Every structure is written in structure tokens, then in C-alpha cells.
Amino acid sequence: MSETSGARWVEIEGVRLRLAHPDDLPLSWVGDQSLSDQLLACWLLVAPEDVPLNPRLLGKPGVGKTTLAYATARRLGREVYIYQATIDTRPEDLLVTPVIGAANELVYVASPLVTAMIRGGVCVLDEGNRMSEKSWASLAPLLDRRRYVESIVAGVKIPAHPDFRIVATMNDDSSTFEIPEYIHSRLQPQILIDFPERDDELDILRENLPFSDAGLLNYVVDFLQAAHRRDEPYTVRDGINIARYVLKQAQQAPRAWQELIAAAVRQVLGDDAVEYLS
């Protein structure tokens, strides 16, 4: 394997690959620090012959799985690449895709996942259980001691850099595929992200809305905590959207936030959610 200037191209087995760019996002994890420590432990090597684990983060949409994965990966001081999985994700999308370049030549483009493999970065495979088994099968050798992928499109076998790490986030809902057992056993351990405690939830709202009225944020947190106790799927992301919409409405037509919050809850979450407003 050789790299060209700028390290945005590599050559593997005579095939030139254009690399993706890492994600640079203003994300920080506010919440249970032990979750980040658990994730770091999965990536730790305890001996030269050891290999990292491939953890999966499981939780309801909006509880901060991607934020936790990204922020923890940045603690390693490495490049982070986020790959958003969908039901339409194909094996070639995960690995190497051929495209027509500016001079009408065929260009092979490495996915964010493969770029992380080559560069020794961290890949966050986001919402991984939205992918089909066929796509997961292409990653099977990457997730065991072999640590490589094979691109049929480009005709190359791509080994992972020793520093490469991966984590898959998965939503705990019904709109996903069942992960095949041979993949499930490779994505261990499972780290469960539950609804945050009240103080953590308030800190998350403050982090995202530092310009907000403190009373509004406390009111929104009380609403979320009441919904959590009834096991409603409302998350801190919903709370951020509710508070942000209230603030924008108040800016457009100055009114007290108390007058706007019920309408905001209805518009963000529906009529049934209003019952959790104190």
C-alpha cells in the first residue's frame, strides 16, 4: 500500500483509491461518563497479539448514541469517519464505489469506513441495523481477527491499519433489520444507552441551547422526565427541538414562553404528548 501527496489517494495492489474526508463536528458527550469509558475499554489492546472489540451502542433514537461514539473516538486523538447506514446501503457503498471522474476516467472512491481502515481512524457505523444481511456479510472478515475487506468492484483486498477502530450504533425500534447471528457475535459487547437522569438531561439542553431561558429548559426537562417514567419514546433531542422552536416563535412575535410551549409540544410530538406538561 502506498500513499500519494496529501494522503487523499492511496494505491493498493495497483488500484488507486480516492479517500474520503474525516468528519469534524462540534460534538461533545454530556452525560454518563462511564459509557465513554466502556467504549474506550473495548478499543484497548492489552497485549501485542490482542485485537480490539467491535462494540455496538443500542438505544432509542435521539438518546445520543452518535454523539457518544464520535466524542469518545476523538478522545483517542484520531480521525473520525461517520458512515450513515440505510436500508438501501449496498456492499459496494460500504467499501469502494466506481465513479466517472472529470476527465471521463473511472475513479475508485473509498467509503468513509474503508478510509478509516486505511488511515487508522475510527469509523462510526451509524444506525447499522438498518442495513440488510448482504451488506453486513461484506464486513464479516473485518469484524474478526482477519481485519480486512474485499472489494469485488475494485478487485482488491484491503487490510485494516492496526489503529483502526469501529463502533456500530443501533436504534432500539421496530423499523430495522434483524442482525444475522454471525455478525451479531462479532459486534460485542453491547453498550446500552438509556434515557439520561434529570441533571444530565438539563446539562445536555444547556450545552445545546446556552442562549435559552433557564426556566424554559427546566420546564422541558420536567416534561421529558415525566414522559420517561411512562416509557414514552420522547428523547432529549425532542426536548431540544421543542425549546428551540419556542425560542424562535417568541423571537418572531414576542410572548412569554409559557404561552408557546404547549403548541410546540403538539407540533413536535403530537397531541398525546401534552399530558406530560406539568
Residue 5: pLDDT band by 50, 70, 90 thresholds? very low
2-192 falls under which CATH superfamily? P-loop containing nucleotide triphosphate hydrolases (3.40.50.300)
Residues 8, 17: Cα–Cα separation, whole Å: 8
Residues 177, 170: Cα–Cα separation, whole Å: 10
Is the pLDDT higher at 32 or at 169?
169
Q: Which amino acid is at 61?
A: P
pLDDT at 235: 93
Coil vs helix vs strand at 261? helix
Tens of pLDDT along 39-85? Answer: 999 999 999 999 999 999 999 888 999 999 999 999 999 999 999 99
pLDDT at 173: 73
Tens of pLDDT along 174-186? Answer: 666 788 899 999 9
Coil vs helix vs strand at 120? coil
Alpha helices in the chain (DSSP H): 33-43, 65-75, 91-94, 112-119, 133-137, 181-184, 198-208, 214-229, 236-252, 257-269
DSSP summary character for residue 64: S
3-state helix, strand, coil in the chain (%, to 5): 40, 20, 40
Tens of pLDDT along 192-249? Answer: 999 999 999 999 999 999 999 999 999 999 999 999 999 999 999 999 999 999 999 9
User: pTM for this structure?
Assistant: 0.87
